[in-house]
């Protein structure tokens, strides 16, 4: 009996689903063997350690187009040169900061002792990294004022959101408000 007759008898004995399973397994084994051979070839061609996953990256990634010197020269000659873009450095939002300071000054001068209101600090928080462009004494005053403002806002948050209101916090808020009012008045006079 020849080998092909034995294969034929074997196929007759198997069901259709078993033949499909053998066919899928044969295809997967063939793919695995071909990828392993390609990996070994790539490893010996590149003469360095290529990991198995880097091999797939090399195999399926887009290869960059390699230009010769004449292609590069032709590309530079035919391409019109565009003027470089000029970016203006970011400016400190001094006008917006003055508006914010006016609003905060209005709140702290109208403080009656029983209403704890948060102060605005959005402009300073957004632009404080640009404050290095301001004069040193103004920058230091701004840092002190806004640290006090942040402290006042935390007292307000604790009092309102967490519902913890005490005479100690009210006293601290009152002292800080007067301090912030004095500092804002001085800064307003210095800026104007």
Contact 105, 188 (CB under 8 A): yes
DSSP result, 140-178 = HHHHHHHHHHHHHHHHHHHHHTS----HHHHHHHHHHHH
pLDDT tens for residues 158-172?
Answer: 888 777 777 888 888
Cβ 192 vs Cβ 161: under 8 Å = no
CA gap 19, 23 in Å, rounded: 6
DSSP one-letter code for 58: H
C-alpha–C-alpha distance, residues 118 and 150, integer Å: 9
Q: What is the pLDDT of residues 45-76, one digit of tens each?
A: 766 566 655 665 666 665 555 545 555 555 55
- pLDDT score at 83: 61
Helices (H), the chain: 3-13, 16-46, 52-60, 69-78, 94-109, 122-127, 136-160, 167-191
DSSP state at residue 133: G
pLDDT at site 50:
60
Structure tokens that stand for 138 in this block: 């103004």
pLDDT for 30 equals 94
**Cα(183)–Cα(145) distance, rounded to whole angstroms?**
7
**What is the pLDDT tens value at each position of the chain, 192 positions in all?**
688 788 777 777 777 777 788 889 999 999 989 888 877 776 777 665 666 556 656 666 655 555 455 555 555 555 555 665 665 666 767 788 888 889 888 888 887 777 778 888 888 888 877 777 778 888 888 889 889 989 888 888 888 877 777 788 888 888 888 888 888 888 878 776
């Amino acid at each position: 009996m020849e080998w092909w007759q034995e294969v034929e008898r074997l196929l007759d004995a198997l069901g259709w689903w078993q033949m499909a399973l053998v066919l899928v397994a044969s295809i997967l084994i063939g793919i695995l063997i071909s990828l392993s051979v390609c990996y070994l070839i790539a490893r010996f061609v590149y003469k360095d350690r290529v990991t198995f996953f880097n091999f797939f990256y090399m195999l399926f990634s887009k290869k960059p187009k390699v230009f010769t010197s004449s292609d590069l020269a032709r590309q530079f000659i035919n391409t019109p040169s565009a003027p470089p873009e000029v970016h203006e450095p970011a400016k400190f939002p001094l006008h917006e900061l003055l508006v914010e300071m006016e609003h905060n000054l209005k709140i702290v001068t109208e403080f009656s002792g029983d209403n704890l209101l948060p102060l605005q600090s959005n402009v300073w928080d957004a632009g404080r990294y640009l404050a290095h462009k301001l004069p040193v004494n103004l920058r230091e005053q701004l840092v002190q004022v806004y640290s006090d403002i942040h402290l006042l806002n935390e007292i307000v948050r604790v009092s309102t959101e967490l519902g913890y209101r005490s005479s100690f916090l009210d006293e601290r808020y009152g002292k800080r408000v007067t301090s912030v009012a004095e500092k804002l008045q001085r800064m307003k006079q210095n800026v104007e």
